[in-house]
């Protein structure tokens, strides 16, 4: 874990290990994974681009679903590592597994933008 401004952010090795435990074994491109994992730490002109838990969690989930860092299992990565990131930072996402699968599928199909995902997460992050 990398600590950044009080947030515990995932490192590539940790994410790879977690995904292996869920049957996702083949990384396609490490740089894409590292880029997706850094999304909650994005800054614009020195200021956080994503303020608050829903925005940081949503940025991570969106980036993981769209990055294609793994040969197979990118939607699973978003569905597993997003809630894990929330948990590690003392948050929970109140949703069913069906809701999680549906929203990640919409992101992967380019039918839900990052901002729409963040809006969907906002009332669910506690």
Please give the pLDDT value at position 91: 97
96 lies in some domain: yes
126 lies in some domain: no
pLDDT at 5 over 80: no
Q: How many domains, the chain?
A: 1
82: containing domain: 2-121
Asked if 62 and 114 touch (Cβ cutoff 8 Å), the reply is yes
Cα distances from 66 to residues 7, 44, 60, 83, in angstroms, run 22, 21, 10, 17
> What does the pLDDT look like over 45-74, one tens digit per residue?
999 999 999 999 999 999 999 999 999 999
Please give the average per-residue pLDDT across 72-96, as a whole number: 97
For residue 92, the domain's CATH number is 1.20.120.1870
């Amino acid at each position: 874990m990398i600590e950044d401004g009080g947030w515990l952010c995932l490192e590539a090795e940790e994410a790879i290990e977690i995904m292996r435990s869920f049957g996702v074994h083949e990384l396609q491109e490490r740089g894409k994974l590292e880029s997706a994992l850094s999304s909650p730490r994005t800054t614009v002109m020195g200021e956080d681009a994503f303020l608050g838990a829903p925005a940081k969690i949503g940025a991570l989930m969106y980036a993981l679903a769209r990055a294609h860092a793994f040969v197979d299992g990118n939607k699973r990565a978003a569905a597993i590592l997003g809630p894990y990131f929330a948990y590690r930072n003392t948050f929970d996402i109140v949703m069913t597994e069906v809701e999680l699968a549906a929203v990640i599928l919409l992101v992967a199909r380019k039918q839900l933008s990052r901002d729409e995902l963040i809006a969907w997460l906002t009332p669910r992050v506690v």
